[in-house]
Structure 1
Amino acid sequence: MSHTFEGGCEHVHTHTDHNPIDNHTCHCSVCKSVTGQPTTHVVFFNHDDLAVDHPEKLNRQPFNANNPDGPLELCTCADCGTPIMLDDKQNRIRVIVPNLMGYDPSFPDSTYHAFYDPATGVPRPNDGKPVYDALRPDFVWPQGS
């Protein structure tokens, strides 16, 4: 069965038929460190909206090495090491990075820039999308369980 959004690897698949609750280009130092990319397309889904077919096959490690007790865990496939998603220990969100987590290149583009810091010396994005120093001002974290 086909889903609106599908990703993962040969061993572990994620999917959803729900729209993201947030879709941004991230400029934060943690994303840069973890992905090796200068900016990262980051997509949040409500936790229960993104399904994982084999959670028992996921290795989990802290997403932020400087905050190992933080809420986000990077989940990678135990068989091949592919990054699958970020999982929130508070069950609020699940996060994907479309270009690294097996999603189709046609995944909808980000709608804004988050965590832009002019002190880094990187020029301010000028692609017409809003630019914020955090998540978009109207973003509300979902309730966890």
Structure 2
Amino acid sequence: MTSLYTGGCEHVHINAKAEPIDNHVCHCNVCKGVTGQQSTHVAFFNYADLSVDHPEKMNRQPFNKENPSGPLELCTCADCGAALMLDDKQKRIRIAVPNVMGYEEASFPKPTYHAFYDALKDYPKPSDGRPVYEGLHPDFVWPKPA
């Protein structure tokens, strides 16, 4: 299998065999809390398009501590603690955060829009020419489970 994007750590490798189905700059408070960044480049892949070579070496924890029963889990390396990916328990998507999860960020396509921005944020609305939405892009459709 040829990988378009490879991330992870020295113990667990994540490989993408297709382009992301959604690629945005996320402004949500959960991403901000997990990454410590004001905004984060996030790429959604169809579940089967992002593979893991050693899933047995991954620890899983709720992505959103305010909603621990939510569908997303943060997967980290059991050996070194590196963030690896977000995994959807419903098997619709897998998520890469290029600058946090071991990817060469420059190899990823540029985000096409800003997601989860609201006027109550403590910083100005993005003005880089990309559309800004209060949620995901209005045309985004959740894939069916794998």
User: TM-score category by the smaller chain?
Assistant: over 0.9
Residue 43 of structure 2 corresponds to 43
Distance in 2 separating the partners of 1:109 and 1:84 = 20
- 1:89 counterpart residue number: 89
Is residue 2:132 matched to residue 1:142? no
Aligned-partner SS, 1:103: coil
Describe how 1:40-79 pairs up with structure 2 within 5 A. Answer: 40-79=40-79
The 5 Å alignment of 1:92-131 reads 92-106=92-106, 107-131=108-132
What is the count of residue pairs matched by the alignment? 145
Q: Structure 1 residue runs of 4+, over 2 Å off?
A: none
Q: Which runs of 5+ in 1 are unaligned?
A: none
Q: Which amino acid aligns with 1:7?
A: G
Question: Judging changes above 3 Å, is the alpha-carbon distance between structure 1 residues 49 and 2 closer, same or farther for their aligned structure 2 residues?
Answer: closer
Aligned Cα RMSD in Å?
1.1
Residues 29-69 of structure 1, C-alpha deviation per residue, up to 9 Å, x if partnerless?
Answer: 00000100000111000001101000000000000000000
Q: What does residue 32 of structure 2 align with?
A: 32
TM-score normalized by the length of structure 2: 0.96
Instruction: List gaps (5 residues or longer) in structure 2.
Output: none
Q: Decide whether the 8 Å contact of 2:2 with 2:17 is kept in 1.
A: no
Percent identity among equivalent residues? Answer: 66
Question: CA offset at residue 18 of structure 1?
Answer: 0.3
